Amino acid sequence: MEICSLPIHRVHDLLASGQLSAVEVLSAYLQRIETVDLRLNAYISTLSDRAMEEAQLFDSGKRDFTSSPIAGVPLGIKDVICVNGTRTTCGSRILENFIPPYDAHVTERLKEAGGILVGKTNMDEFAMGSSTENSAFGPSRNPWDTDRVPGGSSGGSAAAVAAGLCAGALGTDTGGSIRQPASFCGVVGLKPTYGRVSRFGLVAFASSLDQIGPITRDVEDAAIMLQVTAGYDRRDSTSVNLPVPDYRAALGEPIQGLRLGIPKEYFIEGTAPEVDTAVRKAIETCRELGAELVEVSLPHTEYGIAAYYIIAPAEASSNLARYDGVKYGLRAGGSKDLIEMYRRTRSQGFGAEVKRRIMLGTYVLSAGYYDAYYRKASQVRTLIRQDFLDAFQKCDALLAPVSPVAAFKIGEKSDDPLQMYLSDVFTLPASLAGVPGISVPCGFTPDNLPVGLQILGPHFQEDLVLRIAHQFEQATPFHLQCPKID
């Protein structure tokens, strides 16, 4: 039995039944990280000593395996989420040595539930990117083909889960940064409704879009991780005070009779034929499971990329203004005055993509351009949100591709930011609308690269999205396949 290929719920069953000890499980993952991550660069830092102390508490009886479904299970956490006393870099030189003095809300939840954090996963700098090539600590690589990207910005989390370097992980999704890397790496990635999971302790990129969610080996694990992390938090003003359903309980319900919408704007020229074929076969599988397929329209989809790349950089420009070399983080030396210190610190601390977005965001917020750009983009965002509300009057959920392409070669799109941005064309609208979405493995290309099916649901209906994903997953073998990274 290969421990590191098992989903969270199977690892926990073995721990709770006494068949394995927490130290045995953790040691297996740490050994695998040591041997495999040299090729993947999925982690920025590992927490081996602290994790081993936690595992020993379980084995000594001071902590209880039955306290939660993640108790004693090794997990990864994206390096944009604060962990008390642990370096949190956001993939950037400007925070290379930043150690937060507190835990993020989701970190607290994982610790309270007994999850063992094994490391901080690699990411695009400040979550700005679709390939994890923008990390100051080097690119992560896709375990299915190490010459290719794992997606981004949560590429480290997706690569770590796919390669068995942790049983599950947390990522963040601003415009597709959970769903797209999950699709590229052949794992499950869930973006909850905006407001379902607290953002307290999440280093902000675009505050009206950022959302934390799980990346896991199967849908049941995603339900488990969401159950642990979801819920109201008074420290986050955007956290919504609504009851949290029993996500795991909903998984067994059939999808027979559900109306599943197929948005015509998501099946367009430019999508790779092998991706289109895999997604259409997945949709047919849902029909065979008893769902009714209906064509719907999301007419403002074509404006999603333009609106996103005004709104998100504008918010990033505001959020990243705090990194000035004064309070914390990098401070460049050799400056003769304050203004030069600001300039040198930000020039040396930020990478090219972050600088590009700060400049773009500052421009669209500047006097004379705010109404022409930011206000107009916000109005388009409202139209996109209304498109989803209208579509959900005609169907229960939507089925679509996650990305128009499978994982691309490292460096292939680096010199063409627009082509990189277009890889998020199918994920950005859901982020702008704030609806929940999941990527679930639905096939492979002829080059043996994973393809993901995207399932989108109405606000706060993650239980429905998980139910559809689980029923599809149980009818197909794709989630059982692992990359041959050894």
In this prediction, residue 400 has a pLDDT band, given cuts at 50, 70 and 90, of very high
Strand partners, 295: 262
Helix axes 22-40, 48-59, angle to 10 degrees: 160
CA distances (Å), 51 to each of 22, 84, 172, in order? 10, 14, 23
From the candidates 130, 135, 177, 239, which is the catalytic residue? 177
Q: What is the mean pLDDT of residues 290-298?
A: 98
Burial grade of 344 (CB within 10 A; 0-12, 13-18, 19 or more): middle
**Is the pLDDT confidence value at 78 over 80?**
yes
Asked about 78 being catalytic, the answer comes back as yes
**Is the pLDDT confidence value at 422 over 90?**
no
CA distances (Å), 445 to each of 144, 406, 448, 452, in order? 11, 8, 5, 11
Q: Which of 312, 323, 433 is nearest to 374 (CA)?
A: 312
Asked about 177 being catalytic, the answer comes back as yes
From the candidates 78, 120, 191, 413, which is the catalytic residue? 78
CA distances (Å), 68 to each of 54, 103, 137, 425, in order? 15, 20, 34, 37
Q: What is the mean pLDDT of residues 409-418?
A: 89
Burial grade of 457 (CB within 10 A; 0-12, 13-18, 19 or more): buried
Residue ranges in 320-351 assigned as alpha helix (H): 338-349
Q: What is the mean pLDDT of residues 135-153?
A: 98
**Is the pLDDT confidence value at 246 over 70?**
yes
Q: What domains lie within the chain, and their CATH numbers?
A: 3-259+394-480 (3.90.1300.10), 302-380 (no CATH)
Asked about 140 being catalytic, the answer comes back as no
Both tokens of 258, joined, read: 């559900």
Q: What is the mean pLDDT of residues 438-466?
A: 98
Q: What is the mean pLDDT of residues 171-188?
A: 98
Q: What is the mean pLDDT of residues 144-169?
A: 98
Can the peptide bond before residue 153 be classed as cis, meaning omega within 30 degrees of 0?
Answer: yes
pLDDT of residue 215: 98
Strand partners, 292: 259
Cα(109)–Cα(197) distance, integer angstroms: 11
Cα(374)–Cα(316) distance, integer angstroms: 13
**Is the pLDDT confidence value at 486 over 70?**
no
Q: Which of 375, 380, 376, 387 is nearest to 435 (CA)?
A: 387
pLDDT in tens, 13-42: 999 999 999 999 999 999 999 999 999 999
Q: What is the mean pLDDT of residues 194-198?
A: 98
From the candidates 130, 140, 153, 183, which is the catalytic residue? 153
**Is the pLDDT confidence value at 1 over 60?**
no
pLDDT in tens, 216-231: 999 999 999 999 999 9
